[in-house]
Chains A and B, each alone.
Chain A
Amino acid sequence: MARAHAPARKALTTALAWTAGLLIFFPILWTVLTSFKTEAEAIADPPLFLFFDWTLENYAVVQERSDYMRFLWNSTIIAGGSTLLGVLIAVPAAWSMAFVPSKRTKDILLWMLSTKMLPAVGVLYPIYLIFIELGLLDTRVGLTVVVMLINLPIIVWMLYTYFREIPGEILEAARMDGADLRSEILHVLAPMALPGIASTVLLNVILAWNEAFWTLNLTAVDAAPLTAFIASYSSPEGLFFAKLSAASTMAIAPILILGWFSQKQLVRGLTFGAVK
């Protein structure tokens, strides 16, 4: 019975799903479209969808007004640096927990996860104070370290769940053949672990890029990344929708593209392996 109606049903679900998808995506689409309008067109009623005078002026104005490249550079350094540092620290830890588990491995993993649950605002002042004392306030180094630390538990967990899927027998076989620890890691483990590490890197770059508590509270000018760049548009000044849109598009475009590549890893990374 169901088969006879299959094409009609598929057409209906397709229509429904596309409607839902476009509705959800609409704010992003609207932002991108508005970024190419003039300020007057941006607030036109009825709204203009495609038939307006496309212009790149807003992008030029935003770049001129607030030096987008500097914020982009800071975001790149902080997201890239914190991920790289985090992976360097997490790979050995995850490796040892996955392949040389002890009775305490599970407790350590859960404890690491629990540090992620610490509400940031609860330790805001101490970190602020430490940053002042060490001269780290508004520096890329300080922010890179903090963002690395808040994401470290996720990095360890993701790597751990990937490493655990590598069969231990392969390692034993390599050992039987006389491979030492170094060549075991380099020639056996690394090729198998690379996809997992790559997905971990991808997801954590995204999380670090969008981190908006510490980046807003610990930076002012020099180290401010794109999250802070956008926040400077929070006090409206005349007509500014088109410029806001251009700034927003520039802030989200790089990571949106990365994100679409990493959607499969998202589930595993953000549920700490609880849903696969």
Chain B
Amino acid sequence: MATRHSRAAARMMMAPAVVLLLGWMLVPLTMTLWFSFRRYLPMRGGDLGWAGFDNYVRFVTSSTFWPSIQATLIIVGGVLVVTVVLGVLLALLLDQPLWGQGIVRILVIAPFFVMPTVSALVWKNMFMDPVNGLFAHLWRFFGAEPVAWMSEASLQSIIMIVSWQWLPFATLILLTAIQSLDREQLEAAEMDGAGPLSRFAHIILPHLSRAVTVVILIQTIFLLSVFAEIFVTTQGSFGTRTLTYLIYQRVLESQNVGLGSAGGVYAIILANIVAIFLMRIVGKNLDA
């Protein structure tokens, strides 16, 4: 149906978006790559020349690197486990017939709309404060010693905060997937005497596998760059310095741009590995 004329018009219409995104991607990326090979210290003499792979080696061999990878993996992994497990359970629950489903949905989805700085500060102070927080009240009520969450259980605290923010996302997507399940198949299985557990394991779970994969991949990409939640709570102390936070500190706080840029290149590679898997799934969906 497309004529040559409309094809030319189509290219013109696409041009602004493509050019802008190309610039947004290429210009800063090239600069990061360039800086990563320079000894670049804006506050201490500026660009001090070529550094080869020095920054790359120093970034990985510094004593902060492996702890930061560990913190990143624990936070991303922890949040994924919590949100996917609770998300599946919640989605199954919300799929059942119940009174006031619309309102429950609204309650469950609300945390997703709370900006990261607000949710982090509300949790940190009003719930996790070791003296005045609600958890401290609760612990004391049961005669237990209140926990200093942000210092003694810092990683768990961050996982809890970030999971609260992402649980709605996981639940909503899994619920959408469950609702597309063929009801007759479930009823047939029930007729054949399959119990709820085996129906879950053999019909619902396989049906959900794709949605779970999508949830995991999309969340991983966002979770790898969790920033504000750490920025307003621990500032990277108590073992919560993730790769993203470490790079931020190198680049803006200690102004070692060369070193930070090398770290940035590592982060970009890491994110791309995850992205490739996501793109495959999305790409397949485009053909369908």
Contacts and interface: CB of A to CB of B under 8 A. Distances in A.
- Whether A and B are associated in the same complex: the answer reads yes
Interface of A: 2, 6, 9-10, 13-14, 16-18, 20-22, 24-25, 27-28, 30-31, 34, 43, 45-47, 89-90, 92-93, 95-97, 99-100, 102, 106, 108-110, 112-130, 149, 152-153, 156, 168, 172, 181, 206, 209-210, 212-213, 216-217, 226-228, 230-231, 233-234, 236, 240-241, 244-245, 248, 251-252, 255-256, 258-260, 263, 266-267, 270-276
Nearest to A94: B17
A213 B227 contact: yes
Contacts of B98: 10, 13-14, 17
B143 interface: no
Given A244-B125, A267-B173, 6 more contacts: A96-B14, A110-B286, A115-B21, A128-B252, A210-B113, A263-B172
A109 B284 CA distance: 12
Nearest to A181: B9
B115 A112 contact: no
15 contacts: A9-B96, A24-B111, A30-B126, A92-B14, A113-B282, A118-B25, A124-B251, A124-B252, A126-B29, A130-B28, A217-B252, A244-B121, A259-B113, A270-B218, A272-B282
Interface in B168-226: 168-169, 172-173, 176-177, 180, 190, 210-211, 214, 218, 221, 224-225
A170 to B, nearest CB: 12
B116 A212 contact: yes
Nearest to B233: A234
B81 interface: no
Contact of B121 (A13, A115, A248, A258): A248
B285 A274 contact: yes
Interface string B98-133: 111101111111111111111101110111000010
Contact of B14 (A2, A108, A110): A108
A48 B265 CA distance: 50
Contacts of A13: 93, 96-98
Interface centre among B6, B24, B127, B211 (most CB of A within 10 A): B24
A34 B167 CA distance: 24
A274 B257 contact: no
B267 interface: yes
A271 B93 contact: no
Given A10-B98, A263-B105, A272-B282, A24 B110 contact: yes
Contacts, number: 308
A275 B132 contact: no
Interface string B78-106: 00000000000010011011111101111
A212 B122 contact: no
Q: Looking at chain A's contact residues, is the secondary structure mostly helix, strand, loop, or mixed?
A: helix
Given A119-B271, A123-B28, A210-B116, A20 B93 contact: yes
A77 B279 CA distance: 33
Q: Looking at chain B's contact residues, is the secondary structure mostly helix, strand, loop, or mixed?
A: helix
Given A122-B267, A210-B116, A31 B126 contact: yes
Contacts of A127: 28
Nearest to B242: A121
A28 B110 contact: yes
Contacts of B132: 43, 45, 241
A267 B176 contact: yes
B248 interface: yes
Given A46-B141, A125-B257, A100 B271 contact: no
A146 B11 CA distance: 24
A112 to B, nearest CB: 6
B232 interface: yes
A124 B115 contact: no
Interface centre among A113, A231, A233, A260 (most CB of B within 10 A): A231
